[in-house]
Amino acid sequence: MSACIIRGLMKDFCLNGRELKVLKGIDLRLEAGSFVSLVGYSGCGKSTFLRTLLGLTPPDSGSVFFEGMEGRRAIVFQEPRLIRSKTVGQNLLLALHHCPVREEKERVVESVLCILGLSAFRNAYPHQLSGGMAQRIALGRALCRQPELLLMDEPFGALDALTRKNLQRELLRIYLKRKMTVLFVSHDVSEAVFLSQRVLVMKEGDFVRDISVDLPYPRNTGSPEFIEIQNDVHRSIVSENYY
């Protein structure tokens, strides 16, 4: 069974001369094709963990390796981070910067735009897009990388509730179609339970709970089972050792 395996990941930051342990030796196995969410208070190390997985921040110790996978990764940030001088198409092409074949690049961009239903916006500039659309383009840019592991850092956190709901469904649809591994950071418990098969609760640089969500997609957020799991996750976030 292929998987992404993380062993003993540690990272310290120095803040105003004080040593801050952000990641305290994280061990994790992400099965290929699974959707895993990461919840916890802000500042608990979620974002740093994602950046370390992507290689943007080198860890102090520990390792990340891929079993039976090439290890293609991509990230979606909380903000779209599109380049304002480039059209939607050009922004997506940037993700395929390393691909030498022009036709191949065009094909990938076209198919991604098609999946997102945004083909008509290929020549639009970012300032002409709404917040939700811009974020979908950012998701598209990550999909252009054809990732085996998709990292998402609170990707819908800055959107209004209605748009967020839409994008959650859209992400789910794409996930079920592409069968990639997704690691989804969120501060919204309901969102995490709605989307993922496994919810990891993070506290002060380590995981304190690993809750599996054994409900079929699409999930009914009003069902007793759903609410039960949601409450369980909530309790572990605000449990006794929180101060």
Partner 1 sequence: MKSVCRQLLVPVLLLALYLWACRMEMVNPYLLPRPKQLSDSVFRLLSGGELFEHIRISLFRVFCGFSITMVLAFPLALLFHFAPRVRDFLEASLHFLKSVPPLAMVPLFILWFGIGEASKLALIVAASFFPLFLNIESGLQQVDDRLVEMGRSLDLEKRALFFHIYLAESLPTILTGMRLSFGYSWRALIGAEMIAASSGLGYLILDAQEMARTGDLFVGLACIGGLGLLLDSLALRSVRRFFPWIGAENS
Q: Is 158 in the site for partner 1 (CB under 8 A)?
A: no
Q: How far apart are CA 138 and CA 143, in angstroms?
A: 9
Q: What is the dihedral of CA 29, 35, 39, 43, to 10 degrees?
A: 70
For 47, half-sphere exposure in the C-beta direction (CA atoms, 13 angstrom radius) is 10
Residue 77 interacts with partner 1 (CB under 8 A): yes or no: yes
How far is residue 145's CA from residue 99's CA, in Å, rounded to a whole number? Answer: 10
Determine, following the binding rule CB under 8 A, whether residue 95 of this chain makes contact with partner 1: yes
Residue type, 228: E
**Interaction residues for partner 1, span 127-146 (CB under 8 A):** 127, 141, 145
Q: Give the nearer residue to partner 1 in terms of CB position, either 26 or 144.
A: 144
Name the segment binding partner 1 (CB under 8 A); options: 72-80, 102-110, 163-171, 213-221.
72-80
Residue number with CB closer to partner 1 (143 or 233): 143
Distance CA 188, CA 158 (A): 12
Q: How far is the CB of 175 from partner 1 (least distance, A)?
A: 20
Cα-Cα-Cα-Cα torsion 117, 119, 120, 122, nearest 10 degrees, comes to 130
- Residue numbers 5-64 binding partner 1 by CB under 8 A: 54, 56
Looking up tokens 């190390």, which residue turns up? 45
Instruction: Mark the segment that binds partner 1 (CB under 8 A) among 34-42, 80-88, 106-114, 191-199.
Output: 80-88
Footprint of partner 1 on this chain (CB under 8 A)?
A: 54, 56, 74-75, 77, 79, 81, 83-86, 94-95, 97-98, 125-127, 141, 145
